[in-house]
Amino acid sequence: MELKHLQAFVKLAEMMHFGRTARRLGISQSTLSTQIRALEEDVGGALINRNNRTLTLTPLGDTFLEDCQRILTTVEAARRNADEILSGTATTLRIGVCSATLSSGLFAKLLHESRRRFPGMQLHAIEAPPSTLAKDLVEGRIDCMVSITYGVRFDDRVTSIPMAVDPACLIASETLTLFDETNQLDLDRLKEHTFIFYENRYDAPHVVDSTLSFHPNKIIRLQSLKLIFEYIREGIGLAIIPASDTRHLGSGICVIPIKDVTMPIDAVRLSQSRSPTLLRFFEMLRDLVTEPSF
């Protein structure tokens, strides 16, 4: 299998249009079709359904896509590792963070310490929900993530460092009644409400299931905490968030701690990503965790 064929298939699976994909890759549509057919011959079956006006992946294509993404991620990591060994050190490290990493002050400490230890390195930070960061990590768009990992599924290809824990809280409009006569959370009332997830991916972790032991009937997914807070302030749904994020709530929203539930914040990288810069950065993270003042 040729690497360019795998790259073409992954891009086609993303765009699901031969013409637009060919233009993005800078090749002709006929060349793209030839590459996909050659890949299908190598694999031994159809990867793309061509019978409908809208392209879709075959069951084989769905499975093969995941393998292709892993292969390309490994190749990219190998290239970056080689480049950094030859050049001595990287100038940029791409790090994904979630809102809790910022709200807790953890990222400020990482940024300060990385500037002190590695003055020649640029720390390029990207903020996104945890599941989005996990996908970006696996697909090679970031080098590592420091984020809430509560409910996020990783396979055995990652290396992680526990950085902190954040208590889980339920937030709701002050106009809602969520407690029973004994001043306990009324699960039956909670089940009637919409829950808002800080994610936009449908394969995002079900935080409600893990904390309250039921799956909500109605779900809204939003990528912005500010939007979530405005929805909740108006009585549109409930949300479960880390306690550190509650400092930005403002008026009109009540915070209900969830007993015995904490959300870990971990530093995560792909195991095969072993560039000198990334390894030194993770050594710094381990040092920060062991410092009494951290």
CB-CB contact of 232 with 171 (8 Å): yes
Domains in the chain (CATH in brackets) are: 3-82 (1.10.10.10), 86-164+265-290 (3.40.190.10), 166-262 (3.40.190.10)
**Average pLDDT of the chain?**
87
Kindly tell me the sign of the dihedral angle through the C-alpha atoms of 260, 198, 232, 210: negative
**Confidence label for 11 from pLDDT (cuts 50, 70 and 90):** very high
| Amino acid at the residue 64 | F
Whole-angstrom CA distances from 245 to 13, 101, 256 are: 36, 9, 13
CB-CB contact of 129 with 223 (8 Å): yes
- 269 has a pLDDT exceeding 90: yes
Q: H helices within the chain, ranges in order?
A: 3-15, 18-25, 29-43, 59-87, 99-103, 106-117, 130-138, 187-191, 207-212, 225-233, 276-290
What does the block give as tokens for 6?
Answer: 């795998």
Whole-angstrom CA distances from 207 to 35, 162, 257 are: 42, 19, 14
Whole-angstrom CA distances from 200 to 132, 219, 221, 225, 242 are: 8, 11, 5, 12, 18
CB-CB contact of 268 with 149 (8 Å): yes
CB-CB contact of 211 with 228 (8 Å): no
CB-CB contact of 124 with 93 (8 Å): yes
CB proximity list for 68: less than 8 A, separation 6 or greater: 6, 9, 10
What does the block give as tokens for 103?
Answer: 């709200």
CB-CB contact of 214 with 208 (8 Å): yes
Cα separation of the two ends of the chain: 49
For position 87, what pLDDT does the model report?
Answer: 55
For position 41, what pLDDT does the model report?
Answer: 93
Higher per-residue pLDDT: 195 or 291: 195
What does the block give as tokens for 254?
Answer: 């009540």
Tell me: the pLDDT tens digits for 202-257?
655 678 888 888 888 888 988 888 999 999 999 999 999 999 999 888 889 999 99
- 53 has a pLDDT exceeding 80: no
- 185 has a pLDDT exceeding 60: yes
CA nearest neighbour of 72 among 138, 133, 124: 138
For position 131, what pLDDT does the model report?
Answer: 87
For position 88, what pLDDT does the model report?
Answer: 47
Mean pLDDT of 164-170: 93
CB proximity list for 250: less than 8 A, separation 6 or greater: 229, 233
How are beta strands 253-270 and 144-148 bridged, if at all? antiparallel
For position 244, what pLDDT does the model report?
Answer: 93
Tell me: the pLDDT tens digits for 78-110?
777 676 655 545 568 999 999 999 999 999 999
For position 86, what pLDDT does the model report?
Answer: 56
CA nearest neighbour of 241 among 134, 135, 102: 102
What's the angle, vertex CA 114, arms to CA 110 and CA 117, rounded to 5? 140
